[in-house]
Structure 1
Amino acid sequence: MEAISASEYVTIGELVRLTNVRYSTLKFYTEEGMLPFEQAEENLTRRYRRLESIERISYIRKLREQKKTIPEIKVILSQEQAEE
């Protein structure tokens, strides 16, 4: 776990361990464009920036706790991304 916590990039499985969010949920967020990733060319593995992904997942969880729907969250995330 220390190696995972120190690395810049992690896999979706490692994100599951770091965030206690189910694999299927993270896969859904990825497929919906809510959780950005980079594709490693050599084996097509999706790699997630550890810190940014953990922060994004935490933010999505907070929005869900506020009863925001997935479409509403996608709009919020896209608006924030446009402001950056």
Structure 2
Amino acid sequence: MGRRRSHEDIVNSDFVSISELVRLTDIRYSTIKFYTEEGMLPFEQEDTRLTRRYPRISASERLEKISELKQRGLTILEIKKELKIINDIEG
């Protein structure tokens, strides 16, 4: 296991691990993992090491958006549809 990066190093980094994303957003590891597995939270994966790397800014913004939609009472399916609409507009 690698050395844990400082908060300053994390916030200045382009990519973060799932554990670092937990530290930045205060969202549970299992929740982020679920969103990732459901295709709601994009990541990159290095070929040599199977570590998922999340783009820090867009992943944090995506998690904030998911939280907002959950607070409005949307289901996971409805949130996925909403995120697809956002992706279509942005991409």
TM-score scaled by structure 1? 0.97
C-alpha distance after superposition, 1:26-67 (max 9, x if no partner)? 000000000000011110110000000000000100000000
Output the CA distance in 2 between the equivalents of 1:54 and 1:80: 15
Report the residue type matching 1:65 in the other structure: Q
Residues 1-84 of structure 1 correspond to what in structure 2 (within 5 A)? 1-84=7-90
Q: Where does structure 1 differ by over 3 angstroms across 4 or more consecutive aligned residues?
A: none
Output the CA distance in 2 between the equivalents of 1:59 and 1:31: 17
TM-score scaled by structure 2? 0.90
- Greater CA radius of gyration, 1 or 2? 2
Report the residue type matching 1:4 in the other structure: I
CA RMSD of aligned residues (A): 0.6
- Structure of greater relative contact order (alpha carbons < 8 Å, 6+ residues apart): 1
Residue 69 (structure 1) shift: 0.6
Structure 2 portions without partners, runs of 5+ = 1-6
**Number of equivalent positions:** 84
Structure 1 portions without partners, runs of 5+ = none
Instruction: Give the share of equivalent positions with the same residue, in percent.
Output: 54
